[in-house]
Amino acid sequence: EILLTQSPATLSVSPGERATLSCRASQSISSNLAWYQQKPGQAPRLLIYRASTRATGISGRFSGSGSGTEFTLTISSLQSEDFAVYYCQQYNDWPPYTFGQGTKLEIK
């Protein structure tokens, strides 16, 4: 089973600043990585897939990069609605597809 490790666990950033979230895979997953955003009491929302492709309707402030074992989600100019928990997920190896443990992005 592929383990995804997200860092940091909690990230405190001021509105208007940039946030950089990391996801490391225990073995190469090529570019088969997605990012999701989850707000309290809500279902997750797909942001990015294939490591860098934005999902339909997702703001250009969200960008993804990386391949192999190291991946990054960058959110430029943070807005109030961006503060949430972010999960990475690999879909390179089954079974099972796995999620990272999440990074909580909080207001500084």
Partner 1 sequence: EVQLVQSGAEVKKPGESLRISCKASGYSFTNSWITWVRQMPGKGLEWMGRIDPTDSYTNYNPSFQGHVTISVDKSTSTAYLQWNSLMASDTAVYYCARRLTMVQGVLDYWGQGTLVTVSS
Q: Which residues of the chain form contacts with partner 1 (CB under 8 A)?
A: 32, 34, 36, 38, 43-46, 49-50, 55-56, 87, 89, 91-92, 94-102
Query: CB-wise, 65 or 76, nearer to partner 1?
Result: 65
Q: Which amino acid is at 64?
A: G
Q: Is 19 helix (H, G, I), strand (E, B) or coil?
A: strand
Least separation, in Å, of the C-beta of 17 and partner 1? 25
- For residue 93, the minimal CB distance to partner 1 (Å) is 10
DSSP structure class, residue 32: -
Strands 4-7, 10-13: pairing is unpaired
Q: Are 65 and 52 spatial neighbours (Cβ–Cβ below 8 Å)?
A: yes
Residue given tokens 């990074």 in the structure block? 103
From the CB of 21, what's the least distance to partner 1, in Å? Answer: 14
Least CB distance to partner 1 at residue 22 (A): 16
10/77 with CB nearer partner 1: 10
Which CB sits closer to partner 1, 30 or 77?
30
Single out the residue of 104, 64, 75, 103 nearest to residue 16, CA to CA. Answer: 75
